Amino acid sequence: MDIKASVLAAIGNTPLINLNRASEETGCTILGKAEFMNPGHSVKDRAALGIVTDAIDRGELRAGGTIVDGTAGNTGIGLTVVGNALGMKTVIVIPETQSQEKKDTLRSLGASLVEVPAVPYRNPNNYVKVAARVAARIAQENPQGAIFANQFDNVANRDVHVRTTAPEIWDQTNGNVDAFVSAVGTGGTLAGVAQGLRDRKSDIVIALADVPGAALYNYYTTGELKAEGSSITEGIGQGRITANLEGLHVDQAFLIPDAESLAVAFALLKDEGLALGLSSGVNVAGAIRLAKELGPGKTIVTMLCDPAARYQSRLFNPEFLRSKGLEPPEWLEHPVEVAP
Ligand code: PMP
């Protein structure tokens, strides 16, 4: 018998897939961890389960209670999947700039959605700060209680990657792994996997793949938290050192423009049959750049965070892409017509 006790037991243990073209092109072995195969279809199911389990263990959350967080969408979807399985309500505060597909998915799962204007973190009306206030209010009003999941500064997020993602990568490669590269939203993935892999192999190379508009590339290369430009990539791009990032040492950092991540994402779709969101394009572009730095023969692991379907109306919309100065691929603009 091979039966999972609930959907929660189906989170994690994702396959590690050889990205054949990227591997051939670089002479390295580039592997992608298929996080889009989680029940909520993203890497953030892990953080959601880690945060909720931690709150239950500390006696802060029980069935009937409410989980509140500010998220670009994927953490909200993960929290709602976990919350539904445990009899908890979810309230998700999301910047209105995020894709319609993620908002629709949240509503379909039964989350209460609070859409707020996208303003910087220092503004008191930033989505994360609104979520903290909403959680405090519900905690007072609802006898069953409420928690602010606080994914950016709650290290239960990073810890779940130390405990699950890193050992999975180690076991799946039999310890033959030379480097790990990832983009950062909260930093839970990069910092947690870095810690878990360094515990097993102290000289493993840890690399950041960052996007324009975020401050971490500058921070890890010059020490200055400075952002320039912008990106259409959702779910990543951090402007501060979150609690999850505290203490992280990064060996290499790359800044990946949208034209590069988009080309990689479309190549993964056409060459490998992997239709992924743009943060996965950033990650694999980072892995390719790192492979070229390290030279052939290395094994490099990265994350395939979520599916392209979550961004259908943007990534596959030539007008949207052109409005952002990006060139849509020929097959998207002029699909091959076949008569009925
Ligand atoms: N990719 C996507 C699509 C995401 O939604 C997120 C999380 N916001 C990440 C990558 C980054 O993960 P983390 O929060 O662990 O840094």
Q: What is the pLDDT of residues 82-121, one digit of tens each?
A: 999 999 999 999 999 999 999 999 999 999 999 999 999 9
pLDDT of residue 230: 96
pLDDT of residue 103: 96
Paired sense of beta strands 16-18 and 29-34, if any: antiparallel
Residues in the chain: 340
Asked if residues 187 and 179 have their Cβ atoms less than 8 Å apart, the reply is no
pLDDT of residue 244: 98
pLDDT of residue 309: 97
Closest CA to 74 of 105, 50, 52: 105
pLDDT confidence of 286, banded at 50, 70, 90? Answer: very high
- Environment class of 53 (CB within 10 Å of its CB; exposed 0-12, middle 13-18, buried 19+): middle
Residue nearest to atom 8 of ligand 1 (CA): 235
d(CA 12, CA 215): 29
Asked if residues 179 and 301 have their Cβ atoms less than 8 Å apart, the reply is yes
23 is catalytic: no
* Extents of the domains making up the chain: 7-38+162-331, 43-148
pLDDT of residue 121: 93
Which among 33, 279, 280 is the best mutation to test ligand 1's pocket, defined by most ligand atoms within 8 Å of the CB? 279
Ligand 1 contact, 72 CB (< 6 A)? yes
pLDDT in tens, 20-55: 999 999 999 999 999 999 999 999 999 999 999 999
pLDDT of residue 28: 99
Which among 74, 127, 283, 311 is the best mutation to test ligand 1's pocket, defined by most ligand atoms within 8 Å of the CB? 74
226 is catalytic: no
Does the ipTM surpass 0.95?
yes
Q: What CATH number matches the domain at 7-38+162-331, 3.40.50.1100, 3.40.50.300, 3.40.50.720, 1.10.10.10?
A: 3.40.50.1100
Ligand 1 contact, 244 CB (< 6 A)? no
What amino acid is encoded at 277 in this protein?
G
Q: What pTM does this model have?
A: 0.98
Ligand 1 contact, 95 CB (< 6 A)? no
Asked if residues 248 and 293 have their Cβ atoms less than 8 Å apart, the reply is no
Give distance in angstroms: CA of 189 to centre of ligand 1: 8
d(CA 300, CA 286): 10
- CATH for 43-148 is 3.40.50.1100
pLDDT in tens, 252-274: 999 999 999 999 999 999 999 99
pLDDT of residue 218: 98
pLDDT confidence of 64, banded at 50, 70, 90? Answer: very high
List C-alpha distances in Å: 156 to 6, 24, 227, 319, 338. Answer: 21, 37, 27, 40, 52
d(CA 134, CA 111): 14
Q: Which atom of ligand 1 is nearest to the CA of 74?
A: 5
Asked if residues 274 and 248 have their Cβ atoms less than 8 Å apart, the reply is no
pLDDT of residue 302: 99
pLDDT of residue 16: 98
Which among 36, 38, 44, 164 is the best mutation to test ligand 1's pocket, defined by most ligand atoms within 8 Å of the CB? 44
pLDDT of residue 29: 99
Query: What mean pLDDT value characterizes the chain?
Result: 97
Does the fold of domain 43-148 match that of domain 7-38+162-331? Answer: yes
User: CA neighbours within 13 Å on the CB side: how many for 22?
Assistant: 34
Distance of alpha carbon 317 from the chain centroid: 22
User: Given its phi and psi angles, is residue 23 left (phi above 0), alpha (psi -120 to 50 degrees) or beta?
Assistant: alpha
pLDDT confidence of 205, banded at 50, 70, 90? Answer: very high
Listing from the earlier edge strand, what are the strands of the sheet with 112-116? 112-116, 89-95, 66-70, 146-148
